[in-house]
Amino acid sequence: MSSHYYDPSDAKHRMEMSKLAPDDFNAWMALNSIPASTTGALSPKMREIVAIAVAHATGCPYCIEAHVKKGKAAGVSKQEIAEAILLAAALCAGAAAAHGGLAMKFYDQE
């Protein structure tokens, strides 16, 4: 048994959810297919840049790996990946600061 998080072999455990909650799992799978869409205004390359940034903002290592690989195949450069990651980091920091203001407000409330 692995003693660390995010072991690639853990993917089989996610499949258990498909049996336990098939409708919800299928809905999630439909959402999961959005980044690979070839319709719409965003190119596949741009979709992967966005997906890379969001994967870093949400902290999903599986999504990071998948979208970096798909992005590379779609022509995303290493520099574009770095910029997307740092943009995500800046926005996450901004959100933390904005929510920090709420914490100050809540602290001062009776």
* CB-based contact 75:47 (threshold 8 Å): no
* CB-based contact 41:17 (threshold 8 Å): no
Residue ranges and CATH numbers for the domains of the chain are 43-110 (1.20.1290.10)
Give yes or no for residue 13 having a pLDDT over 70: yes
Q: Encode pLDDT of 36-53 as tens digits.
A: 888 889 999 999 999 999
Distance separating alpha carbons of residues 27 and 44, to the nearest angstrom: 22
Give yes or no for residue 32 having a pLDDT over 90: no
Q: Indicate the helix (H) or strand (E) that contains 15.
A: helix 11-20
Residues in contact with 47: Cβ distance below 8 Å, sequence separation at least 6, in sequence order: 35, 36, 37, 74
Q: Encode pLDDT of 47-93 as tens digits.
A: 999 999 999 999 988 899 999 999 999 999 999 999 999 999 999 99
Give yes or no for residue 28 having a pLDDT over 90: yes
- The residue written with tokens 């719409």 in the block is 40
pLDDT at 78 (0 to 100):
98
The closest of 100, 7, 16 to 62, measured between CA atoms, is 7
| Banded pLDDT at 100 (limits 50, 70, 90) | very high
Tokens of 24: 């919800």
Give the global pTM.
0.82
